[in-house]
Amino acid sequence: MADQPHFAMVGGSIWGNRGAEAMLLTTIAQIRAYAPNAVFNVYTIYPDRDRLLVSEENIHFLSGKPLAFGLLYFPFALLHNLLSFLGISFPLPSSLKKMKDSSCLLDMGGITFSDGRTPQLLYNVFSIWPALLLGVPVIKLSQAMGPFERGLNRHLANHFLPKCKMVFARGAITEDHLRGLNLPRGSYRSAADIAFLYQPTDSLSVENEERVTRILTKLEEIQESGRRVISIIPSSLVFQQSKSDEGAYGSKLLNIIREVCQESAHVVVLPNASRAGSGKVMNNDLTAIDALRERAAAELPPEVVPQVTWVDFDINARSIRALVGKTDALVTSRFHGMVAGLALCVPTLVIGWSHKYRETLADFDMAGYAINYEAGIGETLALFRDIWRNKAQIRGLLEKRLGEVQASASQQFNYLREEIIHGN
């Protein structure tokens, strides 16, 4: 075993998508448990902000932006590959040399090589191609993939996925999609999402802790008075996709808020992706929260409005877990918002758009609690009423299934320990 193994990592970040933060920090903590001196070269789309939030000697935040991979890492890796074949030594940029010196590249993209996501498909390719050219083993940690029905996606998936050392499918649907590709036998297996192993002690950043503490205190007082609390995690992506639907997605959430508040419950609306100070929609649910709060002020009864707490600032994965854990039910459109709820055994309803939700919920016998954001308001409300009415039984089911799911997620780190650390 190497005294100080190096790991390159892509698909994770600290700022922005807090699901990516949970996956990244969980992976670092899990590896440190058996390789405490490990060095992590993190290729993040927010390198500057991530460096501000986390400063540790053995964690290097490097640019993982699309242009860096497409216009810097890939050309240099390709040239290095060609000249090495001719026996010519060729120096690499320092950020790319860190990748070459790593034991492997850990890709933790949430969903990759999926039909209908053509812009993201280019990043799925170029974020692993340099490592492949440099001879660095690529391991795709648990993620959703497929379907592979469309020509370009199927062609690229068939070309690049077989070159990965190991591919972890996040559920039965993804695993079934992978069976239709030309993957070598034994090169893929199923494992639950990394973030099911996340612990508050894994957190490495401090963001608005005092403001979160005040909200937690408020929620505790509400529950001590005998009232229920639900959490809602909207998605800026779903808000954007549903704009042509005359605001129906926002209407669904407002109807849920109206209904539970009229039953004297309290609602906390929080982000699972936040970039305070940025008006950009990508990885920024604060834009969705602002839009929903504006509609709430105009459309909800005056007595309902004060019964909603709006988290309109940056919070990290630790604070998200703390807030969701204080609630009696969760409604979310973010995948890792869902993971947070399930990991805390909070009855969870998903208003989403992809198989990635259903295959994870299926591990808890909860697949029926995912509904497409395009479904009607009546259908969505009926499903929410079901989960709200049966929340005690559902919590018991989650508690029963959680250990098995966490054991499944742990298989990825058992693999890394055996194949990468002890294999060096």
Give the closest residue to 99 by CA, choosing from 125, 121, 140, 132: 132
Q: pLDDT for 333-363, tens place per residue?
A: 999 999 999 999 999 999 998 889 999 999 9
User: How much of the chain, in percent, has pLDDT values that exceed 70?
Assistant: 97
- Residue 362 to residue 380: CA distance in whole angstroms: 19
Q: pLDDT for 305-326, tens place per residue?
A: 999 999 999 999 999 999 999 9
Do 6-199+405-421 and 208-346+348-389 fold alike per CATH? yes
The helix (run of H) or strand (run of E) holding residue 274 is strand 273-274
HSE toward the beta carbon, residue 153, CA cutoff 13 A: 20
Q: What is the mean pLDDT of the chain?
A: 95
Contact (Cβ atoms closer than 8 angstroms) between residue 68 and residue 99? no
Summarize the confidence of residues 245-267 as an average pLDDT. 90
Lowest mean pLDDT among 62-66, 69-73, 315-319, 354-358: 354-358
- Residue 71 to residue 142: CA distance in whole angstroms: 28
Q: How far, in Å, are 6, 26, 39, 249, 321 from residue 32 at the CA level?
A: 11, 10, 9, 41, 22
Q: What is the rounded end-to-end Cα distance, in angstroms, of the chain?
A: 6
Phi, psi (deg, nearest 5) at residue 388: -70, -40
Q: Where are the domains of the chain?
A: 6-199+405-421, 208-346+348-389
Summarize the confidence of residues 22-31 as an average pLDDT. 98
* Residue 79 pLDDT grade (very low, low, confident, very high; cuts 50, 70, 90): very high
The pLDDT value recorded for residue 247 is 59
The pLDDT value recorded for residue 1 is 41
- With a cut of 90, say whether residue 109 has pLDDT above it: yes
CATH, range 6-199+405-421: 3.40.50.11720
- With a cut of 70, say whether residue 67 has pLDDT above it: yes
The pLDDT value recorded for residue 233 is 98
Write b or e for each residue in 215-235: b if 16 or more Cβ atoms lie within 10 A of its Cβ, otherwise e: bbeebeebeeeeebbbbbbbb
Contact (Cβ atoms closer than 8 angstroms) between residue 140 and residue 167? yes
Summarize the confidence of residues 264-286 as an average pLDDT. 96
DSSP 303: T
- With a cut of 80, say whether residue 422 has pLDDT above it: no
The pLDDT value recorded for residue 225 is 97
Q: pLDDT for 220-244, tens place per residue?
A: 999 999 999 999 999 999 988 876 6
Q: Does domain 208-346+348-389 have CATH number 3.40.50.2000?
A: yes
The helix (run of H) or strand (run of E) holding residue 210 is helix 209-224
